[in-house]
Structures are given as C-alpha cells and as structure tokens.
Amino acid sequence: MNKRLQSIGPAIIVAAVVCGPGSILSASKTGADFGYSMTWVIVLAVFLMIGSSALSARLGLFMEGTPCDEIAKSFGRVTAIFVGLTVFLIAAGFQTSNNMAIFKAIAPYSDNHHSVFIRNHLPTTALIALNSFLLFVVYQSKSLYSPVEKLM
C-alpha cells in the first residue's frame, strides 16, 4: 500500500502544477466573460496540458541528459538555447498567471482599508513576500522533491 501511495505522489504534484490558481482564475474569467461559447478553449487546453505532461514524463524517463542537453546533441547549442528560453518564457507565463490569481485573492482584504498605504501596497507586498519565501525554500532544500511530496 505504501508503494502505491508513493507512486501517486508525483501525479499529485503534476496536477497541482497544471491546475494552479492561475488556471482556475483564467477558466473562471473566461466563463464569466464569454459564457459557454468558449468552453471549447478550456477543453482543448485540458487535453493539451494532459498531453504535454504525459510527453514530458515519457521523455524524462528515456533521455540520458536534460532535454536541452539532448537537443544540443541532436540539433546544436543554438537550438537548445532557443528551446530553453522558450520553455523559460512559458514557465514565466504560468507563474505570472498564478501571481495574478494570488494578487486577486488578496486584493479584497485591502480594497476598503482606511490606510492608503495598505490599500495600495498590501497585495504587492504579500505577493513579493510569498514568492521570496518560496524561492528561499527552493534554494535551501537539498532534495526538493521529497519535502514537496510529503507536503502534498
């Protein structure tokens, strides 16, 4: 039974990455703005996310090096740099949408506050503090996967 629970751990982490606050905010906003007419976009995005997660898992199992190492061997360093930058920008886009969702969740607590400073700076300060804490945890952890798996 313990082995079975350990095998579920990676799936939960992938699901948390794919279905984060940014994805929920985007889907909710799309539904609120367009109703059911844009449902096909959400459905398509779900299938594309499932496909890219499954493909990434398979590639990770069968490759000897990192994806960029393998691309550099096959297609050259310039192509690997281009792919690496593209993947970085995609990840930054996902994190931006997650930050926007957290910002939107914190904003109502400061909108009606009597202090102008808190109204203007609480969401941004909280977001910076949260991201700083998470970066600290990532860089201080010797083995990041195990603690994340235990938290999930």
- Taking only the tens place, the pLDDT of each residue in 94-115 is 888 888 888 888 888 877 778 7
Both structure tokens of 81: 């740099």
Q: Region 77-99: what's the mean pLDDT?
A: 90
Report which of 116, 107, 134 is spatially closest to residue 20, judged by C-alpha positions. 134
What is the structure's pLDDT at 147? 66
What is the structure's pLDDT at 57? 79
Contacts of 106 (CB under 8 A, 6+ apart): 122, 123, 126, 127
- Taking only the tens place, the pLDDT of each residue in 10-54 is 566 566 666 778 878 888 888 888 888 988 888 898 888 888 888
Residues spanned by the domain of 83: 2-151
- pTM beyond 0.85, yes or no: no
Number of compact structural domains in the chain:
1
